[in-house]
Structure 1
Amino acid sequence: MSKTKLNNNVTGVKVIQRAARIGAEVANIKISGDLSEETIGAINDALLEHKVVFFRDQSHLDDADHERFALRFGRLVAHPTMAVTKGTTSMIELDSARGGSRADFWHTDVTFVDAYPKIAVLRGVVIPPFGGDTVWSNTAAAYLWLPKPLQRLADELWAVHSNAYDYTVMGNASQADRQHFDEIYTRTVYETEHPVVRVHPETGERTLVLGDLVRRFVGISKYDGQKLFDLFQSHITAPENTVRWNWKQGDVVMWDNRATQHYAVNDYGDQHRVVRRAVIDGEVPVSVEGRHSVTRIKVTKQAQAS
């Protein structure tokens, strides 16, 4: 991949860093599926460097244009359990008016499967007049800044991720949220073992693979595992490892799902919020020892009932 800088490649385009360890805004660009290979390569380079990149004023995009742009970065993939938007390959809609669409917990998308998405592209369709920000954290920086003994410990750990997780992590989950997760999100239950530290396939960085989809650590008691989880998560979500984005309608955000966690702030009350997300297929994570993640359980509720 070339290291062409966007601001040297496209007249008027600027990359504005938003925080020291994560996040950059790419300004003065109209994103589309027709951008040159050089520009797409430069956007990917910015993504690998900053982990999440923001684009303002992209209201020209519809679902088809959104997916055409995302497709330039790899193969689009549907969500394992949620229905895609009609007429699209991978688009899911997160609508605050429907249950289960306020993802106000720290997570990396779809880590309950082995090859979870490598990149997500999220578009603001309906944005409330206040609140509704999203916060991202850099899990590569979190690992890098761990004390060396904790790095060595993390290198050896494996964790089980599942979509059938404890509702208490959702904060004030409504009955609609619970019903949505019961009927839609967990209609097929997955459990996958991931290394707590994966080696990024493009940058070679070590990144922490945790978040609130973790159910337990392999070979460690629940009590001790919770202490370890809280310890490592506190480093991942430390303010200096994060960037916060104040959405406007038409914004597009891309993030490297292999090197980040994110949290949708649920502070907009009854205001309406709709975002749509396309994702690019990812690789099965590899540990520092060369072992691959593996899905251990995949069971549909119909199969369970029968």
Structure 2
Amino acid sequence: MFPFVRVFSAACLYGAVTWAPAAVAQTPWQSYSNDQIKAGAAVCPTSDAQTGNFFCFALACSHDGPRAWTITYAGGASPGGAVQATLSINGRRAADFTFMEVPRPDYVELQANWEADRDALLSDQLVGGGSARLTLAAPNWTAGYDFSLAGAQAPIVNVVRTCPLPPPPAVMDPVARAQAEAAGFCQQMGGALKVSDDLVSKPDLNGDGREDLVVNWGALGCTTGAMSPYCGSAGCVHGLFVALETGGYKELLETNIRGYEAQTMPVITLHLHGGSCGGVGADRCVKYFTLDEALDLDELD
């Protein structure tokens, strides 16, 4: 997916604990793109043009895929399994990764998924940091690489602006998730969860013949109160989920609405707080949405 061998004019030596590193300088951070890569930001901590060995660390995306972290190297053994990695910035531990090998004929490639909770902050730290160290532990070897973050800002910012985020993981049981969260809230309030009959409806939101889910959080209340804590002047919180062919559901939205209809085009009609249409709370506000090929909501004019 990320063939850095063809990207850099200077190759990078893989200098690990198991193999003695050569005394060669870091290549600078680079932005790149090609027929396979939409945008990339990479650095090679060491390089050796004579042997052709290299080690590179990068953030990149293909033309049809989300952003991901990658390591490529030549001149060292295959990891023999998952590689646990720790990235430290300015001497402080910043992130942990699990890299998996992607088969390549002439070099070794490892990839780790972008994780929003970890990596949104990490990309800012890389841009603002001065130095970094990447420590790797594989079944067959261990390694450590130091590199400068000078010049990293423009390449990394370009990737973040250009490359899409990975899709969120499928929600396997939206109803159980909602009930568990509400039960925890009720416990904090000194009560227990109570559930009314209108918790779940199963319309076909995208016209594919599968039952989708609408979870009405207004049906979740606590024994300590008469009203659901998930309702207000904007209506009750509703979660809309579309069933995936591979199992589970994709969450379309989870917000306060006053009502909805799922029509046969398919068009999803949402009745919202008047402020969503530029008015005041009591004003009528109706918006219409459809689903695109990626199962994202598109508002209709």
Asked whether the two chains share a fold, i.e. TM above 0.5, the reply is: no
TM-score calculated relative to the size of structure 1 = 0.24
Bigger CA radius of gyration: 2
TM-score calculated relative to the size of structure 2 = 0.25
Higher strand share: 2
Higher helix share: 1
Between 1 and 2, higher relative CO (CA 8 Å, sep ≥ 6) is seen in 1
